[in-house]
Amino acid sequence: HVREMAAAGLHSNVRLLSGLLLTMSGNNPELFSPSQKYQLLVHHADSLFHDKEYRNAVSKYTMALQQKKALSKTSKVRPSTGSAASTPQSQCLPSEIEVKYKMAECYTMLKQDKDAIAVLDGIPSRQRTPKVGSSPWIEAGRGFFFWRLRC
């Protein structure tokens, strides 16, 4: 339901509900699967971003990326269970690239341009989307900042 609320633009509701669910999952780690927790962290961070709480959003995006790494490790360790890896839930996970892009946007709003560039620089060139490739940091790079394009 959190995803549907986010899609409907109910950011304050998403923030409240996801905050509550994250607290509950902290008390009971088995409450959500790793992929559900990743989605929840991203939606919570997105709602913080929308409310202009960029520092808190960066913190949640960082936690989401750590959860994504743990999710990747567990999916590599676990034996394949048929079509479990291609379930609709796993296909609709927020993109790690999008999460990093949002993190960079937060850093820019906080006027921490070097951190924004560092986050974008961490995206391998073959994974950079057109949105990342035409980001304002690259445009700014022609003047004051320079973000290396390795495309």
**Residue 135: inside a domain:** yes
**Residue 86: inside a domain:** no
CATH of the domain at 57: 1.25.40.10
Distance between CA 140 and CA 70 in Å, rounded? 34
DSSP string, 76-116: HHSPP-TTGGG-HHHHTSPPHHHHHHHHHHHHHHTT-HHHH
**Residue 87: inside a domain:** no
**Residue 44: inside a domain:** yes
Q: Angle CA(108)–CA(22)–CA(49) in degrees, nearest 5?
A: 20
Could you report the per-residue pLDDT of 10-60, keeping only the tens digit for each?
A: 888 899 999 999 999 999 989 999 999 999 999 999 999 999 999 999 999
Name the pLDDT band for 85 (thresholds 50, 70, 90): very low
Distance between CA 86 and CA 104 in Å, rounded? 29
Asked whether 96 and 38 are in contact (CB, 8 A), the reply is: no
Task: Identify which has the larger pLDDT, 86 or 48.
Answer: 48
**Residue 15: inside a domain:** yes
**Residue 85: inside a domain:** no
What's the number of domains the chain is made of?
1
How much is the pLDDT for 88?
A: 44
**Residue 8: inside a domain:** yes
Could you report the per-residue pLDDT of 120-151, keeping only the tens digit for each?
A: 888 887 777 665 555 555 455 433 344 443 33
Expressed as residue numbers, the domain containing 51 is 1-73+94-149
**Residue 78: inside a domain:** no
SS3 state at 32:
coil
Q: Please compute the mean of the pLDDT values over residues 97-118 and round it to a whole number.
A: 93
